[in-house]
Every structure is written in structure tokens, then in C-alpha cells.
Amino acid sequence: MNNHQIDISVIVPLYNEEESLPELAQWIERVMAENHFTYEIIFVNDGSTDRSWTVIEELAEKNPAIHGISFRRNYGKSPALNTGFSAAQGRVVITMDADLQDSPDEIPELYRMITEEGYDLVSGWKQKRYDPLSKTIPTKLFNATARKVSGIHNLHDFNCGLKAYRCEVVKHIEVYGDMHRYIPYLAKNAGFNKIGEKVVHHQARKYGTTKFGLDRFVNGYLDLMTLWFTSKFGAKPMHFFGLLGSLMFFIGLISTMVVGFGKLWRMKQGLPYSLVADSPYFYLALTMMLLGSQFFLAGFIGEIIARNSTRRNDYEINARL
């Protein structure tokens, strides 16, 4: 199991954080030295337009454990993390933000939880946050929704930048788009169930400014819906659209028949009757039938797309005899 050359890989995604980097590197180096860890630090420069990359080059010159990867343009935090994950070699992989909001002093305990308590993933929880109110309140809502949808009920803070992973986990998940907010959910979907949490210290941003605006909450919500849908129905879209479509179509059909036969019956009885098209129920019923067929078609198209996916039979296998 332990064929890793080094104990810890620290991955730091960064975008325009030149002022923070030297301090962060020094702090990590100090913690590693005090605890006698072998380590590497991988700075992933996400297309910074300031001097960040030059600073990283200087740091790497002084310490061979420091590595850097630089994107030509800004892709986002998730692509930066994903690239860092591919490069990581340590037994335990730790991610942290570059802005000094996360404390490297948490590393030894996170490492212990992964290696000794057997966690697959440990997420930091900024129980006491030093962020503006406009961010902390929506964050509470965001986390409550994420807990409900993902079924990971013990996490308070999905999007904490400070997380620790067993190396295997990061090699088996793909973080894309803005999905870094839901890494625990991605891990769970890949079959890694032992997900824990550790209360971590949080500090106000010392240098620079936040890179995410309030649109993070809208996008975060949409991404959660996407993840929920793809994890449940990604391989069998018809089970979702087919059920919904059939149900709507059926209700529409019954309602049309009630309206139609109702009129025929009244005609037969010699009662006064009106045109089917005069009834508002007729139009509601028609709409239901139309929408129902559309859902059904969406299901078929989804199935055809899923069938063409080269990854439709990629499963997470963790043991063979």
C-alpha cells in the first residue's frame, strides 16, 4: 500500500497571489520540517497576470521540494486542482488556497486522520469564518442544500479549500468546470465513502482580493443539480425522462378522454353541451400530452448519447482476485 516516495503533496492553486506566496511557502516548509515529513509543494499557477510565476520560480530555486505548473491562461480553480492532482506523488494529498486564509499548521493532524484513522477524504470546516456576511449567510444555505442532495450529512463546509485526501482518491476523480465546490460528492460518487471533517482555523484575506463573486452561489446551485442528475441518471436518462414523460402523457390522455366522453355522454342524454375546445381543461390536457412526449423524446436522445459515450462502462474497481 505504501509505495509512495513521499509523505505529503501540497497542492496550491493560485491566481494573482504574488504577495502571499513567499509567506505561504515558508510556513509550509516550517511545518514539514518540524514534523519530519517528506513532501512536495505543487504550485499551480492559473494564468496569473501578476508576478506570481516569477515568485514561484524563485522559491523553487531555493527549495527542490517546490514544483510549479503554469497555465497559459486563467482556467479556474477546478482545472488547476485537477492538474495538481495528476502530478501529485505523495501518500497524502493536501490542497490549500494560496491566500493564507488556510493554515498549514493543520497539516499534521489532517495527515494523521488519513493515515491512522483511515479516512479517504478529510474536509476542513471553517467553523469561525473571517469573511464578509454577504458570503457567510449564503454559504450556510449552500451547504445545507449540498448536504441534502449529496447525502453526505456530516459535512458543514463543502467548499473549504483546505482538504486532505488519500492519494488514490485524487487519482480517481475528475474535477472540472467549477466542481471543486463538490469534491466530497465527486469522491462519494467514485465510491470513496469514508469522508470526515476537521475544524480548521480561518483567517481574513491578508493580501489581494477574492477571485469569486456572488455568482458563485447561482453557479454552485446549478452545478449541484447537474451532479445530482448525472450521478443518478447519467447512465440511464430514460429512467428519469421516461417516467416523467409517461406520467404527464398519461394524465393528459385521461383528462382529454374525460372531457371528450363527457361531451358525448351529454349529447346522448339530450343534455345541453358545449364544444370540447371551449373547456380550459382540454387545453391543459393537451399541453400535458405534448410536454409528456417531449420528455420522452429527451429520454431517448439521452440514451443514445449515453450509449455513444466511451466511458459508459468505466467502473471503479478496487480489488480483484
Q: Where do contacts with ligand UDP occur on this chain (CB under 6 A)?
A: 13-15, 17, 46, 74, 76-77, 80, 97-99, 101, 161, 210-212
CB nearer ligand UDP, residue 44 or residue 113:
44
Distance CA(268)–CA(264), nearest Å, equals: 6
Distance CA(42)–CA(226), nearest Å, equals: 30
Least spacing, CB of residue 102 vs ligand UDP, in Å: 9
Distance CA(188)–CA(266), nearest Å, equals: 59
Choose the one of ligand UDP, Mg ion, none that binds residue 252, judging by a C-beta under 5 to 8 angstroms depending on kind.
none
* Strand-pair category, 92-95 with 163-166: antiparallel
List residues binding Mg ion (CB under 5 A).
97, 99, 101
Residue pair 223/197 in contact by the 8 Å Cβ criterion: no
Least spacing, CB of residue 179 vs ligand UDP, in Å: 13
CB nearer ligand UDP, residue 7 or residue 18:
18
Nearest 5°: the CA angle 220, 76, 28 is 105
- Quickly list H helices, 9-132: 21-34, 52-62, 77-87, 107-115
CB nearer Mg ion, residue 78 or residue 256:
78
Least spacing, CB of residue 117 vs Mg ion, in Å: 27
Beta bridge partners of 164: 94, 122
Choose the one of Mg ion, ligand UDP, none that binds residue 77, judging by a C-beta under 5 to 8 angstroms depending on kind.
ligand UDP
The beta strands (E) that lie in 121-177 are given as 121-125, 163-166
Least spacing, CB of residue 100 vs Mg ion, in Å: 9
Choose the one of Mg ion, ligand UDP, none that binds residue 119, judging by a C-beta under 5 to 8 angstroms depending on kind.
none
CB nearer Mg ion, residue 29 or residue 97:
97
Least spacing, CB of residue 220 vs ligand UDP, in Å: 11
Phi, psi of 96, rounded to the nearest 5 degrees: -150, 150
Choose the one of ligand UDP, Mg ion, none that binds residue 83, judging by a C-beta under 5 to 8 angstroms depending on kind.
none
Choose the one of ligand UDP, Mg ion, none that binds residue 17, judging by a C-beta under 5 to 8 angstroms depending on kind.
ligand UDP
SS3 assignment, position 14: strand
